[in-house]
Amino acid sequence: MKILRALLLFLCLCESSWAAPSAQFQDGEQWCAIGDSITHGGPYHRYVYLYYTTRFPHRKIDLFNCGISGDTAGGALRRFEGDILRHKPTVATIMLGMNDVSRGLYEEGAAAPDLQQKRETALATHSANMRKLAERLQAAGSRLVFLTPSIYDETAQIPRPNAPGVNGALGRCAEGARQLAEEFHGSLVDFHAAMGALNTRMQQADPQFTLIGADRIHPGETGHLVMAYLLLKAQEAPMFVANLTVDAAGKDSLSFTRTEEALPFPVPSGAASGLKLVPFMEELNQERLCVTSLAEGSYQLSIDGEPVERFTAAQLSAGINLAEFHSTPQYKQALAVAALDERRHELVKQLRVIDYVEWKMGREIGDPTEFDHVAAAQKQLEDPKITGWPKDRVKDYVGIKPKQQVLRQQLETVLSEMRQAALPRAHEFVLGR
C-alpha cells in the first residue's frame, strides 16, 4: 500500500508538469500518430484508440500510424507529403528524438575530439526539424499534441550495453517539445518525466526493473499501457464507463434492464502488469454499480442470465466495479471489439511495410505501376548494403504490395465492423439471495 500511495503521489506531481489539457479526440477526427519505431510498432496509440472505440462508440475517429522505424524529425519532414499529409490530419501527436540524438555518440567507448560538438549538432538539428514539422502541420490545419520522447533506460542493471547520456539528451528534446507546445499553442504530454520518475522509483526496490525493454530503447506492452494512461489523463478522459446507483428499498431481490452507453476497456493480457504501476482501472475504467438499502446477506448478480459474482449487501452498497469482472456480457462485447482491433492492427502492419519501404528506404515514388514497385524492390534485395530488419521488410514488400488495394478495402470493412460491435446494448440485471 505504501508503494501504491507513493506512485499515486508521483503521478499527481507529474500532472502538474503537463501543459494545458489536450483536447479529446472528437467525432470526425483524423489522428496521425507521428514517430519512430516506438510509434511504428505501437501499441500506445492502439490502446488509446481502443479506449475511444469502447468509451465513445458513437464517435468516428480515424487513427493513422505515421511512425517509421529508425526515423527522425528530419525523416518525418522528408515523407511529410506522401506519408502524413495524405491523411489530412485534424490532429497530430508527435513523438520523436530517440534516433535524432544519435545514440552511437554516447555508447561506452565512443571517443572523438569533436564528440560533444557532434552531440550538440544532433540536438540542434532535431530542434530545427521539429519546428519545421510543427509549422507544416499547423499550416495544414492540424492541431498539435507534442509527446515528449519515452526514456532510454541507462540505469537498469541488465546485460544490454549502455549509452550513458542518451536519456539526458532525450530530456533536452523533451524541453524543446515543451517550448514548441507553448509557441504553437499546442498541448504537451510529458512521457519522459513521468516514465523516468516511475522507472527510478521501481528500480529502488528492484535494480533490474525496467519500464522499457531489454534493449533499453523500446517500451514493452506494459510501458505502452503507461504511455496510453498518461495520454488519456492529459486529455482528461472520463473515469466512468457507467455509474449506476439503485435503491433496493429493503428488498432482497432486484431486477432491471439498462443500456450502458459505453463498454469497459478490455486490458490486453500482455499489458496487465501495467495496472500495478498506474491507477488505470481506478481513474479510467470504472463501470460502477451501487445498490443501496438491501437487506443484509449475500447476493448473486447475474446479467442476461449469466452469473457474474456473489457480493454482500455491504459490498454492493459501497459500489462494485463491473469492469474488473471478465464474465459480464459487457466485457465479452469489449473483447469482441478488441479482437477486431487486433485484426485492424494486423492489416495496418502490412500496409505499413509498404510505407516503410517506399518512404524510409528512399525509393523514388512517382506514378509507377505496382509491377514497377515490386521490380524495384526485388532489385534492392541484391544490394549488399541492405541487411537485417530492412531487408526482411523488402522481402515482405514484394508479397504485400500487389495486395495493397485489397488490404485497404479489408481495413475499411474491419473498421466498420469494429464500430458496429462497440454500439451499446440493453442488458438485464438480476440480483437475488
**Per residue in 31-86, pLDDT tens?**
999 999 999 998 999 999 999 999 999 999 999 999 999 999 999 999 999 999 99
Which of the two residues, 374 and 4, has the higher pLDDT score? 374
**Whether residue 311 has pLDDT greater than 50:** yes
User: What is the pLDDT of the chain when averaged over all its residues?
Assistant: 92
Task: Check residues 18 and 67 and name the one with the higher pLDDT.
Answer: 67
| pLDDT band for position 369 (cuts 50, 70, 90) | low
The whole-number pLDDT of residue 78 equals 93
The stretch 342-351 carries a mean pLDDT of 97
Answer yes or no: are the C-beta atoms of 212 and 218 closer than 8 Å. Answer: yes
Banded model confidence at residue 2, pLDDT cuts 50, 70, 90: very low
Residue 18 pLDDT: 44
Q: Do strands 240-247 and 298-303 pair parallel, antiparallel, or not at all (unpaired)?
A: unpaired
More confident residue, 315 or 366: 315
Task: Read off the pLDDT of each residue in 216-230 and give the average, rounded to a whole number.
Answer: 97
CB 223 within 8 A of CB 270: no
pLDDT of amino acid 377: 81
Q: What is the DSSP string of 99-141?
A: TTT-GGGGSTT---TTHHHHHHHHHHHHHHHHHHHHHHHHHTT
Place of cell 526514456: 151
Which residue in 94, 96, 97, 98 sits closest to 31, CA to CA? Answer: 94
Cell numbers of 161, please?
550495453
- Residue 187 — φ and ψ, nearest 5°? -125, 165
Q: Domain limits of the chain?
A: 2-234, 239-433
pTM: 0.93
Write the single-letter amino acid at 287.
Answer: E
Question: What CATH code would you report for 2-234?
Answer: 3.40.50.1110
Give residue 5's pLDDT: 43
- Cα separation, 195 vs 198, in Å, equals 5
**Rounded Cα distance, 226 and 79, in Å:** 29
Assign 381 a pLDDT band (cuts: 50, 70, 90): confident
Q: Give 393 or 203, the one with higher predicted confidence.
A: 203
Q: Is the pLDDT of residue 137 over 80?
A: yes
Average pLDDT for 253-282: 97
pLDDT at 371: 59
Where does the pLDDT of residue 389 fall: very low under 50, low under 70, confident under 90, or very high at 90 and above? confident
Return the pLDDT at 385.
Answer: 84
pLDDT surpasses 60 at 4: no
Confidence band (pLDDT; 50, 70, 90) for 384? confident
Cα gap 119→104, rounded to integer Å: 10
Q: Is it the case that residue 406 has pLDDT exceeding 70?
A: yes
Residue 345 has pLDDT above 80, yes or no: yes
What is the structure's pLDDT at 3?
44
- Mode of pairing for the β-strands spanning 286-292 and 187-189: unpaired
User: Which pLDDT score, from 0 to 100, does residue 362 have?
Assistant: 60
pLDDT at 9: 42
Which pLDDT does position 373 carry in this prediction?
76
pLDDT cut 70: percent of the chain above it:
93
